[in-house]
């Protein structure tokens, strides 16, 4: 996908909500000199739950669930290239919404 049109952007925002979307820059080669922009949705509890369900039993399937559940553009290009797929997986892991809690004595 080259540059996204305003209509495409508006359609994604309407469907997923602007606060849930992120633009990721994924390198196309290991030299990391060229990048593609990919639109992703922050992993939902459902997608992340499925990812966790399969992470021990079938890590390949778990990875595919996370990428397919979150990447909205250029998915075929990412899935066709191991380097890009693994890089995308690493970036998506940073998007998983997790806070830091506090532990106090009872």
Asked whether the beta carbons of 69 and 47 are under 8 A apart, the reply is yes
Q: What is the pTM of this model?
A: 0.84
Q: Exposure pattern of 41-52 as b/e (b: 16+ CB <10 Å)?
A: bbbeeebbebbe
pLDDT tens for 41-52 read 999 999 999 999
Q: Would you tell me how many other CB atoms lie within 10 Å of the CB of residue 15?
A: 11
For range 47-65, the mean pLDDT = 94
Give yes or no for residue 3 having a pLDDT over 80: no
Give yes or no for residue 81 having a pLDDT over 80: yes
74 CB-near residues (< 8 Å, 6+ apart): 1, 26, 36, 37, 38
Q: Which residue from 80, 10, 75, 3 is spatially nearest to 40, judged by alpha carbons?
A: 75
Res. 2 pLDDT band, cuts 50 70 90? low
What sign has the CA pseudo-torsion 50, 68, 84, 7?
A: negative
Give yes or no for residue 93 having a pLDDT over 70: yes
pLDDT tens for 16-32 read 998 999 999 999 999 99
The 3 state secondary structure assigned to 6-70 is HHHHHHHHHHHCHHHEEEEEEECCCCCCCEEEEEEECCCHHHHHHHHHHHCCCHHHHHHHHHHHH
Res. 97 pLDDT band, cuts 50 70 90? confident
Q: What's the mean pLDDT when you consider all of the chain?
A: 92
């Amino acid at each position: 996908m080259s540059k996204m049109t305003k209509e495409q952007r508006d359609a994604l925002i309407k469907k997923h909500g602007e606060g849930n979307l992120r633009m990721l820059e994924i390198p196309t080669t290991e030299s990391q000199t060229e990048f593609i922009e990919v639109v992703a949705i922050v992993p939902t509890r459902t997608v992340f739950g499925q990812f966790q369900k399969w992470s021990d039993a079938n890590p390949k399937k778990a990875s595919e669930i996370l990428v397919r559940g979150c990447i909205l553009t250029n998915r075929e290009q990412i899935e066709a290239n191991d380097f890009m797929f693994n890089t995308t997986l690493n970036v998506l892991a940073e998007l998983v919404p997790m806070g830091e809690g506090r532990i106090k004595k009872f």
